[in-house]
Amino acid sequence: MTMLKEGRPTTPQAAKDAHMAPQTATGNRALMLEEALIFEIGSTDTTGVDFAEAPKVASRLGGLARTDSIGLPGLSEQETVRHYTRLSRQNYAIDLGLFPLGSCTMKHNPRLNEKVARMPGFADIHPLQPQSTVQGALAVIHELAAWLVTLTGMHSVAMSPKAGAHGELCGLLAIRAALEARGDARSVVLVPESAHGTNPATAAFCGYKVEDIPATPDGRVDLEALKARLGPDVAAVMITNPNTCGLFERDMKTISDAVHAVGAFVYCDGANFNAIVGRVRPGDLGVDAMHINLHKTFSTPHGGGGPGSGPVVLSQALTPFAPLPFVEKQDGKFVLVEEETAEDHHARTFGRMVAFHGQMGMFTRALTYILSHGADGLRQVAEDAVLNANYILRSLDDVLDAPFGGSGPCMHEALFSDKGLAEGFTTLDIAKGLIDEGFHPMTMYFPLVVHGAMLVEPTETESKAALDQFIMALRSLAERAKAGDEALKGAPYHAPRRRLDETLAARKPILTWTDPALAQAAE
């Protein structure tokens, strides 16, 4: 069979055999337009604008002045706009459909949040402005901090961390500072198998030795194994609750009591706080530090490497060691405190996490979301997230194996495995099939405690109609994989590109473009 580079048949008969349309002359498929690289569209000999001849001036660069062309293509405005618009049409987004990524909530960002974040006084301020000119911004940080403390039942909050993993680092640095202050440096951090993968990485980055704690058959922390390992060398336990199996750790208070009894601290990964916000206060469970992903629970933008925000709530025992700066109200004015104080609040700070105060744009969006919902609305956020996940779990557990389906209701995400698929069929085949159905694939092969894991998080922002459509698609793919439908192994058929070799792409990525003519000349 004659194939193009993307793996699409070029003859009508070949296309019929592959259950797809024949290749068009242009490579376009109706409104799905084939798009070349920008280097292939433009020419380095042209430019999209005309400039007057620049006057000759003496160079101050000396031997560092460029002698060759920079090699960038010249495009007109129309060519440039079309190029990036066509590329954007080949991307998936939350405004197109459901994002089923488990343990990495991708939910709707209300436009109200965006409108408020763009208001003058928020969008056009600078962190080096005099504090007297940014009282409104400082008030936003102060009020958001108060909400986070109230919702978690904790003593204080560090607002400066800029992501979840950054928040983990903040919490562990506070724990380390607290231990060192009492002359009790310890060397081990315990991490359950059901925790997020960033937890052990953060602990190792802080210089701790990481030890695993096994899970029970029902997907939760093995309490007896944890108690048996606790000792004077343990600095902290990092636990994700609800965990990556989509389950609430029912023994959380007992775990915290046991950890505190040996002088250690409890760090809770709060990435899944959206499943319990308004329903459970981590402070009541004995948690000492917990980061909150504003993009997950409070709907600020997520993806593309940022902008992120991961405030860390702290217990009374850790508050004195929290990082600078923080916002206080003094004599009726808001002040950004950037030095240690004599009060218990940050009195023995471990230092700074960032140059300024954190992500102002995310603070504004998160507070808008909180105020528009109120306490009752936030409680409903958690209830709807859990309801939607359980709806997916029970709608599919007859065609997909749910390893912890017998452990009772799940929390915010439903977990399935590849058990029961026909020989030779894998989770990857189902994920690729979802692309043809118009959905971004769910999280695959995570958590590691489940073979061929498929982790689905519908979020609370999806309607029943949207969930039903996704369930129908996933059910169809599961039935095909169980029946051994060989066509599924070739999916996706309708995406801009056919199935890629992920292993080769990860190990031998091509990160730069080379002009074919120059490459041929070099050979």
Domain ranges of the chain: 112-369, 378-497
65-84 pLDDT, tens digit per residue, is 888 877 788 888 899 999 99
pTM score, whole prediction = 0.88
| Token pair recorded at residue 142 | 């102060």
* Residue with more model confidence, 266 or 124: 266
pLDDT at 466: 96
pLDDT at 63: 82
**270 DSSP assignment:** -
* pLDDT range class, residue 284, cuts 50, 70, 90: very high
Q: What is the mean pLDDT of residues 178-205?
A: 93
Q: Does the pLDDT at position 4 exceed 50?
A: no
Residues 6+ apart with CB under 8 A from 35: 83, 86, 87, 90
143 residue type, one letter: E
Q: With the C-alpha atoms ordered 385, 387, 390, 395, is the resulting torsion angle positive or negative? A: negative
Q: Does the pLDDT at position 339 exceed 80?
A: no
pLDDT at 5: 41
Q: Does the pLDDT at position 465 exceed 80?
A: yes
Kindly provide the residue ranges of all beta strands, DSSP E only, lying in 217-361, ordered along the sequence. Answer: 234-240, 265-269, 289-291, 312-314, 326-330, 333-337
User: What CATH number does domain 378-497 carry, 3.30.470.10, 2.40.70.10, 3.40.50.720, 3.90.1150.10?
Assistant: 3.90.1150.10
Q: If we measure between CA atoms, which residue out of 260, 287, 47 comes closest to residue 155?
A: 287
Only one residue has tokens 């319990």, namely: 276
First to last CA, the chain: 30
Residues 6+ apart with CB under 8 A from 227: 258
* Residue with more model confidence, 521 or 125: 125
* pLDDT range class, residue 500, cuts 50, 70, 90: confident
**Percent of the chain topping pLDDT 90:** 64
| Token pair recorded at residue 141 | 């940080």
Q: Does the pLDDT at position 260 exceed 50?
A: yes
301 preceded by a cis bond (ω within 30 of 0): no
* pLDDT range class, residue 103, cuts 50, 70, 90: confident
pLDDT at 64: 87
User: What CATH number does domain 112-369 carry, 3.40.50.10490, 3.40.720.10, 3.40.640.10, 3.10.310.10?
Assistant: 3.40.640.10
pLDDT at 93: 86
DSSP assignment of 5-31: TTS-B-SHHHHHHTTSPPPPSSS-BTT
H helices of 284-359, in order, are: 294-297
156-188 pLDDT, tens digit per residue, is 999 999 988 999 999 999 999 999 999 998 999
Q: Lowest-confidence range among 19-28, 46-55, 194-203?
A: 19-28
Only one residue has tokens 């730069």, namely: 512
The number of helix segments (H) and strand segments (E) in the chain equals 15, 12
C-alpha dihedral, 392 to 398 to 400 to 406, nearest 10°: 80
C-alpha span between 463 and 94 (Å, rounded): 13
Angle formed by the axes of helices 427-436 and 464-483, to 10°?
130
**Percent of the chain topping pLDDT 70:** 94
Q: What is the mean pLDDT of residues 302-325?
A: 86
Q: What is the mean pLDDT of residues 216-224?
A: 94
Q: Which residues sit opposite 189 in a β-bridge?
A: 210, 236
| Token pair recorded at residue 376 | 């009752």
Please give the mean pLDDT across all residues of the chain: 89
C-alpha span between 364 and 96 (Å, rounded): 25
Q: What is the mean pLDDT of residues 97-122?
A: 89
Residues 6+ apart with CB under 8 A from 435: 441, 491, 492, 494, 495
Quick check: 160 and 323 in contact, CB under 8 A?
A: yes
Conformational region of residue 30, where left means phi above 0, alpha means psi within -120 to 50, and beta covers everything else: left
- Helix/strand/coil for 401: strand
C-alpha span between 93 and 99 (Å, rounded): 8
pLDDT at 58: 82
| Token pair recorded at residue 130 | 């005099």
Q: Does the pLDDT at position 523 exceed 80?
A: no
Q: Does the pLDDT at position 211 exceed 50?
A: yes
Residues 6+ apart with CB under 8 A from 508: none
Q: Does the pLDDT at position 412 exceed 80?
A: yes
**Segment of 39-48, 189-198, 463-472 carrying the highest mean pLDDT:** 463-472
Q: Does the pLDDT at position 342 exceed 80?
A: no
Q: Lowest-confidence range among 19-28, 262-271, 290-299, 385-394?
A: 19-28
417-431 pLDDT, tens digit per residue, is 999 999 999 999 999
- Helix/strand/coil for 354: coil
pLDDT at 286: 98
* Neighbouring C-beta atoms of residue 494, cutoff 10 Å: 14
Q: Lowest-confidence range among 12-16, 70-74, 160-164, 336-340?
A: 12-16
Q: Does the pLDDT at position 403 exceed 80?
A: yes
C-alpha span between 337 and 181 (Å, rounded): 22
